[in-house]
Every structure is written in structure tokens, then in C-alpha cells.
Amino acid sequence: MTQPATPEFLDRLDAALPPGMLRDRRPGELEDPRGRYHGQAAAIACPKTVEEVATVVRLCHEAGVGIVPLGGGTGLVLGQIAYEGPAPVVLSLERMTHIRAVYPQENMIVAEAGAILADVQNAAEEAGRLFPLSLGAEGTCRIGGNLSTNAGGLNVLRYGNARELCLGIEAVLPDGQIFHGLKRLRKDNTGYDIRNLLIGAEGTLGVITAAALRLFPRPERTAAAILVVPSPAAALELLNMAQGIAGEGISAFELISGMGLEFLAETVPDIRQPFETRPEWCVFMDLGVSGASDPDEMLATLFERAFEAGLVSDGVIAQSEAQRQEFWTLRETIPEGNKRIGSISSHDISIPLSRIAAFIPEGIERLSELGDVRVNAFGHLGDGNLHYNVFPAKGRDRSEYENIRAEVKRVVHDLVAEYDGSFSAEHGVGRLKAEDLERYGDPAKLSAMRAIKAALDPKGIMNPGAVLRG
Amino acid sequence: MTQPATPEFLDRLDAALPPGMLRDRRPGELEDPRGRYHGQAAAIACPKTVEEVATVVRLCHEAGVGIVPLGGGTGLVLGQIAYEGPAPVVLSLERMTHIRAVYPQENMIVAEAGAILADVQNAAEEAGRLFPLSLGAEGTCRIGGNLSTNAGGLNVLRYGNARELCLGIEAVLPDGQIFHGLKRLRKDNTGYDIRNLLIGAEGTLGVITAAALRLFPRPERTAAAILVVPSPAAALELLNMAQGIAGEGISAFELISGMGLEFLAETVPDIRQPFETRPEWCVFMDLGVSGASDPDEMLATLFERAFEAGLVSDGVIAQSEAQRQEFWTLRETIPEGNKRIGSISSHDISIPLSRIAAFIPEGIERLSELGDVRVNAFGHLGDGNLHYNVFPAKGRDRSEYENIRAEVKRVVHDLVAEYDGSFSAEHGVGRLKAEDLERYGDPAKLSAMRAIKAALDPKGIMNPGAVLRG
């Protein structure tokens, strides 16, 4: 258990930092994006340099006071919301937003942890390069938080998740030591992979303060399509066929369900529906290739072959960049439609690719035993990552389902475990899923995690209660 | 310090395993490939299952006896050669060679740690897929060793190193617990990244017993060229230009020095030289693309543009698959040429891409102050990974340079540190570079590594003396 941050401790902290580094919380800050939990903060520290971060951590370490690192605050699993225990010092990276350097020839950018994801994308674009991490919250979330949660998003199929985009980090360890690991090297086999240990640790093993990130050539030509498929199984066969034709050129391959389209029609009617008759399943596919290839020709070839093979029955190929953006908007508005309908329970799961097609209906069947519900299964099919969200029957409200909410989650996560899947594909564990981790995690992995946590953070000050409960 | 394996202990171990699981060492086994060190073994255990591996580890853990995991024995940094301290139990994965499953639709293969790399490649090919890890020792090395050292090789530019090709592992932790982490998931954000901690730990944190590995579509069309460039700087510009034209289609981009060609001409004269006049620098480039693209056209476009820009002065584009293989053979015979000349000291280094061009001559200049030497700098330029090997002047023998060998290594590694590079890009630390790690490693990283080692392996039984010295 951590110690309370006494007024004396806060005075000491204030005195050890340049003036104005501690601030009060702002209205609405540290609220769970889903509105259920409220975070505590004895103070919010906003250091400007890694040395100042180290000062905060060292003082908290000495006093046994908890630290909750804060990026953009958009995390969905309460990793940034310490709602129990003594109020911690919240360490916000909001002032460490500098893009330290861009190396176009190396395809590399070095950004401080507080840089907004969209700003990193823009800095890359100004250098004629692509930083491919892309997700709904990109205008608000910060790169340090993206790394701490190993964020996924829309381009993982082609470019990997946050972990794969990061070649080096600078971080402050739980005792206040600075890890100078900001290497711009693609290959560096000199000891244990401390970088990847901190990535995805959700601030429980230290504070990431800067990162060296990979950039990519910007695809010169793009093309996009929405294709109607008879089933998720057909969608996967289509993906294999598409990879044979377009190789690594497939930037996104997203499953969209008829249910998702129906929710949009109901709640966001100004979004143009791609088909007059609403299909049960379709996929959105985005291609980006180098100048010597023709992505429209690739899509045309794919459509022809897939149609013949019965994998596709209808489709729209974007005729302009505007139409391609319209497809993206459709895909990216699905979560808004879900929000307006109001889910009983949402699940960010992954399943081995070849078992997804069986998983989707089996989940629906098991859930139907609990009550009259609707399922919107959609998302990053190419990665095996589904957002498997459960909603009230038409005309009913989520409040009527409060009594089965826990059971709904349990049924979905139990089935995920049976299918060798993951109960958290891209959102992380935080505090929301710490119990799931205990229930579904491999015992040897959990025991190794606890040993590492105790070794690096013996006082348990780093993001207490997140990932591993005390 | 570990305990000696007494005859009583070996009897107990023998009795705990099915018959025939312990064997004596074979002649020539456990010898350093470079012939300088000799490994010890109290016994060689050859378990067939992960449970048997766990039995060996548990008994060694109880008795404090050291364990050295053994794959194909091809490692170059003495990770498998315990030449000091009490003779350990060598745990050979030679009987765990099973390909457990291939999932073509998932682009995934599950192999036991003892599977020979070439056998994994072949199993992938039989399923119409590519397992891209490729290196000189592929006919002998085992996939568990590749993962433990995070092997690199020839296709890292496009497909990543061993770490990036692995989605899940099964392993035995130092206390004998089995980590069941054989997930076939591209996304799984449920706790600390134990997989990547074991990958690259060179057997010091546990024994990898099986892995779920990524497969890729086989490129349908390939093309290759050797292009003469005026300098390494021009080679890097050429790489950028090539990425603009061929995107991710570039499978290999290798720097070849005139020195390397000269060594081949001297020692392997039956290798056909690509140019009549030996150039100072050239690059070997291999492309593999999907059916809808034309790699020969890409190369022709690249050659034309690069020639105009002064980045390329001459070149040969392979006119047949046979000629492409001839280029590959040329590239892959360079190490043999080096061996026949006999290096004073070899260095597997990486440098931030944009600094390589300055590094190469500065290193040569500094080395020339030590004596009359020749440098062959070659290798995976696209990854920033050079094999920077130092040789005697023409007509002289390496034995004449014994007195400056340590200094040569120091000069190269000091310069690498000045350039923010790595003293071990792909070979690992083992026992050979444990001192370099202490000298050049980030202090906070070293302290975290030591804390993790002590937490997971409190008795220090796993590959004692490797990576971290006692």
C-alpha cells in the first residue's frame, strides 16, 4: 500500500521543482471516459524535462507516495484513473510535447512522451514520411500513453502496433534512475528488452518520457473499397486472396457488420450507407502502394477473382479520394453509433484468425441465453481483433440489463479463453481488467510479472492498482 | 556461483526422466565456432517434451546447478560455451524438433525450439507460405536459439528480426514453471511482455521450448541487382529512392565493399565477380513482389533515376533466377572469404542510418593509427547493421597482430558508442561481450537487468556467466 501525499511532502516536491510545476486538477479531468469512475490526485505534477520527471519519481519513491502517469487521458481501461487507495501524485506529460528531431533518411522521429499523436503524424508528413499509428483518439491521446498501452488502431495489419513502431525509449524507472535508451537502431542485441517491458506496462514499471519511432515512405497511390461478403469466414479468405494480389499494400482490412450499419442508420442518419440493401457483413479495405503499382487495378483483379469464388457478392470501389475518405468516415463513425445506442458491455478481444468465424456466432448463441441482446462484432479483422459489443434489443435501454452486465462480460471472456484468444487485444488491462488478468492470465506469466514488479518497484509506487492488484 | 553437478545429482536427474535422456558430449561438441574456447558439460540432457524440460530445470533449481540451453551451437558470442565455473547441465533441444502445426490461413506456424531453421522454412514453403528468417547457419541453427539471441540475418529490412517474427512462446522459467504463452494472436495487451523479455535473453531467464511464428505470402515475382555506388552515403540515398519505387518490396539491401570482392578474388576465385573493374562500393538488392507488380520494371526505373542522380554508375540486373541465385551466393560467400583471409577482430555493429557514411572512414582512420590494417565493412545496410571486420595488411598474417587485437576491438566499439550505435547488432552478448555490456550499457538498463535476473532466477542457474557476469 502506498503512503498518502502529506502537505509536507507536496511542499518538498514543490520546492524540488522549478516554480509552477504542480497544479490543481481541472474540471472534468481524471474522469473515466465511460463516466463510471473518478480519479484521485493529491497534486498534478507537470515537469518539462526528463530530469524533472526523475525528481518527481525519486521523491515519491523515497516517501512511498503513488504516481499515476497521465498522457491524453483517453485510455478505456482506467489505467489513468486511480479511484481507490491514497490519492497519488498524477504525473502529467502535458508539457513534454516537443518533437526532438526528425530523421527522414533514417525513417525515424524522436518525440517526447507528451506529444499528441496527431502532432507526431503531422511532423512525419512534413518530412514526407508516414507515422502509421492511427486511432480514434489521435487528436487527444499522447504518444507516451500510446506506448504505455501498446496502442493498436487501424493500421496494425500493415505496420504493427505501437510496440513495433518504437525503436527506443527514454524513461524514468521507479527509483528515479533515467534509462537512456533512445536508440535509433533497428538492430541492437545488447541485453534484456527493457524497452518492450516498459511498453505495454501501463506506467506500472516506470514513466516513458520520449521515444524514437519508425517512419515509413508515404504510399504514393491509394485505393479503397467496401465489399459485401457472405460471412466472416469468407472475409478471411478474401484477405488471403488480397494479400496474394497486393502483398503488404493492404493498410487496413476492417470487418463491418450489418448490425453496425443499422445502428448508424438509426443514430447517425447523415452518414451515407454504402448499399441500398443492408448486407449482413462487409469489409472495408484500404490499399496504399508505391508509384510503380496500380492499386485500382489490384482491387479490380481482386473483385473479379473473389466474385468468381463466391467470396464477394457486391461492392463499391472508391472513385475518388473524397469517396475513399467517406468510407473511412463510415468505418470511424461506427463507435459513435454504438455509443448512441448504448452498449450493455463492450469487449476488445482477439481470436486466432482461423477461429473467428466460429467464435462470432457461438458468442451470439451463448449471449442469447442470458437475454434478448444484439451484438455488433466489428473491427480489425486482419489482426484477429474484434470489438465484440453487446447491446439491448431494439427499443429497450441498457439500464434494463444492469443485472446481467457482469454475466455478459463473463460469457464473452470465458468463450475468448476457450478459443485461445485475448480478453484485451489493444486497450490494455488498467484497473478495469485487472481481475480478468488474474482469472485468465497464465499462472507462470503472472508470477513472473509479480516478481518483476517487486524487483523494479519494491514500494509499489508506480501506477498502484493498475495491471497487478496489490 | 552455481553448485557442481555431483554424481548423486546426475543420478537423481537421470531417475526423474524417461530412460536415455542424458547423454555424454560428442567429439567437437561445445566448441566455440571460432576455436578459442571450450565449453564444459557435466551431462547433456535431451528432453523430448516441455514437461521433461521443466523437470530438468526444477531439479537444477533445487540443487543450484547451472543450466546451459543448447540449440544448434552456431552462436558467435559464446552464449552456449560455459568455459568457466562448475560444469553445468547442458540442456539440448535436439529432440524437440516437431513442427506442431501450420495455419496457412492465419499465416502462422508453431514449431518446437529444437526445429532446425531450414526445416521451419521448408514447412512454411510446403504450405505455400514464407518464413523469412534467413541466415548463414540456417541448415544447423535451431529456432529456439534464433529466438534466444534475437537473430537477424538477410531479410530484417523487410520482415524484422526473430523477435518481430514471433507472436508467442512456450518456455520454462528458472524455477521450473511452464509459461504457456503460445498465443497465435497479433494483438494481446494483457500484461508485461514476458515473451520479448525471454527473446534475446540468451537463455539466462528461462528456456524457450516452442514458438508461434509469423508466416508471409511468398512473393510471386522476384528480381535482383548489383549496383555500383560511389559511396555508402550514396547507397543510403539509393535505398530511400528504392523504397519510394518498390515500397515494402525490398527484401534485402546489402552493402558490399571492394575489399570484400578483393578477398573473394584472392581466396574463392571460382566465385564470379560481378564487374570487370572492381568497384570500391556496390549494393546487392533483392526485390519480391506480388503478382500485380513488375519487379524488373521497378529495378529498371530505379536504375535510370539513380544513374541520372549520380547515385549509381554501373550495375547488373539478374536476367534469370539462376543469375539472381549467383548474386545471393556472392553475397553469402563474403564471410568465407573473410575467414580465409583471417581477421584480426570482427565486429557486428549497428549505427544510426544517417551516420554510417561518416562512421566507415572515421573507423578506418582511427584503426590506421594502430597499425597497417585492412577493413571489410559490409552487410545489412538497410538495417544500419555492418559487419566491420579488421584484417592484416596484404601479405601479412593475423598472428602478427595479436598484440593490438584488444585495442582494435576497443577502438571500434568506442567509436560505435560515440556514434550512438550498438556493439552487438544481431549476434548478442553471450560471454564474449559481457564486458562490453558493462562498459557501454546504459547504467539504468544494467541495473534493471540485474534486478530482473535476480527476481526470476535468484540462484543464477540459467546460463551462468552469459550476458550478465556474476
Which of B172, B173, B186 best probes binding to A when mutated, by most A CB atoms within 10 angstroms?
Answer: B186
Residue B384 to residue A420, Cβ atoms within 8 A: no
Distance CA A252, CA A153 (A): 10
Residue B451 to residue A455, Cβ atoms within 8 A: yes
Chain B positions in Cβ-Cβ contact with residue A429 (cut-off 8 Å): 189-191
Per-residue cell: B325:
541465385
Of B187, B200, B351, the CB nearest to A385: B187
Of B289, B380, B422, the CB nearest to A188: B422
Using an 8 Å Cβ cutoff, are B440 and B417 in contact?
Answer: yes
Distance CA B1, CA A431 (A): 40
Of B156, B193, B237, the CB nearest to A200: B193
Which residue in A176, A204, A178, A198 sits closest to A68, CA to CA? Answer: A204
Please identify every stretch of chain B with a pLDDT value under 70, giving residue numbers as ranges: 291
CATH class, domain A7-94, is alpha beta
Chain A nearest C-alpha distance from B268 (Å): 30
Residue B194 to residue A248, Cβ atoms within 8 A: no
Chain B positions in Cβ-Cβ contact with residue A150 (cut-off 8 Å): 189
Query: How buried is A446 (Cβ within 10 angstroms: 0-12 exposed, 13-18 middle, 19+ buried)?
Result: middle
Distance CA A65, CA A281 (A): 51
3-class DSSP state for residue A236? helix
Chain B positions in Cβ-Cβ contact with residue A352 (cut-off 8 Å): 103, 106, 108, 184-185
Using an 8 Å Cβ cutoff, are B146 and B117 in contact?
Answer: yes
Using an 8 Å Cβ cutoff, are B462 and B213 in contact?
Answer: no
The predicted pLDDT at position A248 comes to 84
Q: Is ipTM beyond 0.90?
A: yes
- The reply to whether domains B7-94 and B221-340 share a CATH topology is no
Angle between helices A232-246 and A356-368 (to 10 degrees): 160
Residue A424 to residue B189, Cβ atoms within 8 A: yes
Residue A196 to residue B193, Cβ atoms within 8 A: yes
Print burial letters for B440-458: b (CB count within 10 Å at least 16), e (below 16).
bbbebbbbbbebbbebbbe
Chain B nearest C-alpha distance from A46 (Å): 23
Chain B nearest C-alpha distance from A355 (Å): 9
Cβ neighbours for A17, distance < 8 A, ≥ 6 positions apart: A45, A47, A52, A55, A56
Chain A positions in Cβ-Cβ contact with residue B247 (cut-off 8 Å): 217, 219, 248-249, 289-290, 293
A250 → chain B, closest CA residue:
B248
Give backbone dihedrals phi and psi of A386, rounded to 5 degrees, phi first.
-110, 140
Residue A190 to residue B421, Cβ atoms within 8 A: no
3-class DSSP state for residue A134? coil
Chain A positions in Cβ-Cβ contact with residue B468 (cut-off 8 Å): 191
Chain A nearest C-alpha distance from B154 (Å): 12
Which of A186, A238, A423 best probes binding to B when mutated, by most B CB atoms within 10 angstroms?
Answer: A186
Distance CA B31, CA B250 (A): 37
Per-residue cell: A294:
496500380
The predicted pLDDT at position B247 comes to 83
CATH number of B99-217: 3.30.465.10
Residue A428 to residue B106, Cβ atoms within 8 A: no
pLDDT tens digit string along B279-293? 999 999 999 987 677
The predicted pLDDT at position A34 comes to 73
Domain boundaries, chain A: 7-94, 99-217, 221-340, 342-418
Chain A positions in Cβ-Cβ contact with residue B186 (cut-off 8 Å): 156-157, 350, 383-385
The predicted pLDDT at position B290 comes to 77
Please identify every stretch of chain A with a pLDDT value under 50, giving residue numbers as ranges: none
Chain A positions in Cβ-Cβ contact with residue B178 (cut-off 8 Å): 444
Residue B384 to residue A186, Cβ atoms within 8 A: yes
By DSSP bridging, strand B221-229 and strand B281-289 are antiparallel
Chain A nearest C-alpha distance from B179 (Å): 5
Measured over the CA atoms of residue A384, residue B183, residue A141 and residue A104, the dihedral's sign is: negative
Cα(first)–Cα(last) distance of chain A, in Å?
7
Distance CA A80, CA A69 (A): 7
Chain B positions in Cβ-Cβ contact with residue A108 (cut-off 8 Å): 352-353
Of A243, A289, A421, the CB nearest to B185: A421
A422 → chain B, closest CA residue:
B188
Instruction: Please give the helix or strand (H or E) that residue B407 lies within, else none.
Output: helix B405-418
Chain A positions in Cβ-Cβ contact with residue B181 (cut-off 8 Å): 442, 445
Task: Give the domain B221-340 fold.
Answer: Alpha-Beta Plaits (3.30.70)
B106 → chain A, closest CA residue:
A353
Using an 8 Å Cβ cutoff, are A118 and A138 in contact?
Answer: yes
Cβ neighbours for B399, distance < 8 A, ≥ 6 positions apart: none
CATH number of B342-418: 3.30.70.2740
The predicted pLDDT at position B35 comes to 77
